[in-house]
Structure formats: C-alpha cells, structure tokens
Amino acid sequence: MVPSLTSQKAVGQLCSTASMAGNLAQCRMLVQKAVKAGAKALFLPEAADYIGSSPAETISLVRSVQDSEFVLGLQKEAQEANLHINVGIHEPAPNGKVKNTLIWIDDKGVITQRYQKIHLFDVDIKGGPVLKESSSVEKGMEILPPFDSPIGRVGLSICFDLRFPEIALALKRQNAQIITYPSAFTVPTGWHIGKLCFEPEPLRRSPM
C-alpha cells in the first residue's frame, strides 16, 4: 500500500488502571471502532498497558512483550483487524527499572518499531502533585528515525518529549509527516502542557 496522509487514522483515549486485562478490553473496543470508521492505523496513549499507583507497583507489574497479555492481545487484534496499532507500554529494563516505550504493531501483528521515552517527567507543582518518573523508569537515549506506514511517514515521541523541540526538529529533518506525543498526564500537569500546545507563541519563546 502506498503511504498517504489522506488515509483514515484513529486516535483512541482510555484511562488505564493497574489491570492489564481491563485495559486490553478497552483497547479492543477502540480497535473495533477504528475498523468500523475505516481507519488504517490506531494511535493509543502512553502507558496504555497499565498505570501503577506507585513506583513499586509500576515495576512489579511490568512484563516483557513476549509475556504481556496486553501486548499479545493487541498483536492478535492488529492481525485480525488488518490494522496498524501504535501504543505506549512498559518493558523491563536491565537496571531493575522499567522502560516507557512506544511500539508500532503492523497489520500482520508484528512489532516493527520501538521508541524509548527520552525526557522523563519529574515535576513538583505548587499545590499539586509531585511526580518523579525517573524513580522507576529508565531514560531512553536514542531518537528513532521516522518510518513509512500506510498513513504516511511517522516519527515517535512520548508525552514530556513535547517540551523539548530538538526531537521534533530531528524527525522533521528526516521527513516525518506525523509526529506522535501520546500522553498520560494528571489533570494539573495536563492542563499546563495543554496550554503550551494551544498557545504556540509562549511555546516558541519559552526556555527549553
């Protein structure tokens, strides 16, 4: 199939919990909706496989892609639905932490691309949450080159990578047509980042 930006794309939203089975069930419904809408690819959020209530739980729940009921389930869905799926998951890291990764599953159910989040989300908001992603997550070190897909040339980034334009610039220079930023923000942090997304002038001028 010739890549085309005019091909239908679907974006799925869900509120992940600590239950992989429950999250997979939600994603299966989103796959059905995407197929019904005629989409060639479905984009799902960061950490769609699970959200732990603590760093310890985040680490305890992680599974390799070969053993993850969530990933195996989505691979099957992709193959049966003839649908490409982009989804954020956790993977084990050799240092005892986890990797925050974004994988691309093709329409044959094969994982063909993998990006590990580079910019981890450590924040202390006055009157809001204190989050330290680096306490349980291993930092990625490489930008994944853009790749061709049925919907165009795709570049992968995750969540807080949005605040650092160097990745997007590097992807654009390699002819990326679509750049992803799947996210799993809290309400306060999502609001702050959302304002940046919709107000390009502050984003352009703000220190990075």
Q: What is the DSSP letter of 77?
A: H
159 is catalytic: yes
| pTM for the model | 0.87
126 is catalytic: no
- Strand 147-149 relative to strand 111-116, pairing: unpaired
> What is 9-196's CATH number?
3.60.110.10
Residues 6+ apart with CB under 8 A from 59: 52, 96, 97, 98, 136
Confidence grade of residue 135 (pLDDT, cut at 50, 70, 90)? confident
- Strand 122-124 relative to strand 147-149, pairing: unpaired
Closest CA to 43 of 52, 30, 32: 30
Residue 167 has pLDDT above 70, yes or no: yes
Q: Which of 9, 27, 77, 159 is catalytic?
A: 159
The helix (H) or strand (E) run that includes residue 155 is strand 152-156
User: How many Cα atoms are found within 13 Å in the side-chain-facing hemisphere of 148?
Assistant: 4
Query: What gap in Å lies between CA 37 and CA 40, rounded to an integer?
Result: 9
Q: Which of 46, 77, 91, 133 is catalytic?
A: 46
Query: What gap in Å lies between CA 54 and CA 104, rounded to an integer?
Result: 27
Alpha carbon dihedral 103, 106, 111, 113, in 10-degree steps, equals: -50
- Give the residue extent of every domain in the chain: 9-196
Instruction: Name the least confident of 28-37, 72-81, 177-186.
Output: 177-186
- Which pLDDT score, from 0 to 100, does residue 205 have? 40
166 is catalytic: no
Q: Share the mean pLDDT of the chain.
A: 89
| 70-122 pLDDT, tens digit each | 999 999 999 999 999 999 999 999 999 999 999 999 999 999 999 999 999 87
Confidence grade of residue 196 (pLDDT, cut at 50, 70, 90)? low
Q: Which of 9, 40, 97, 117 is catalytic?
A: 117
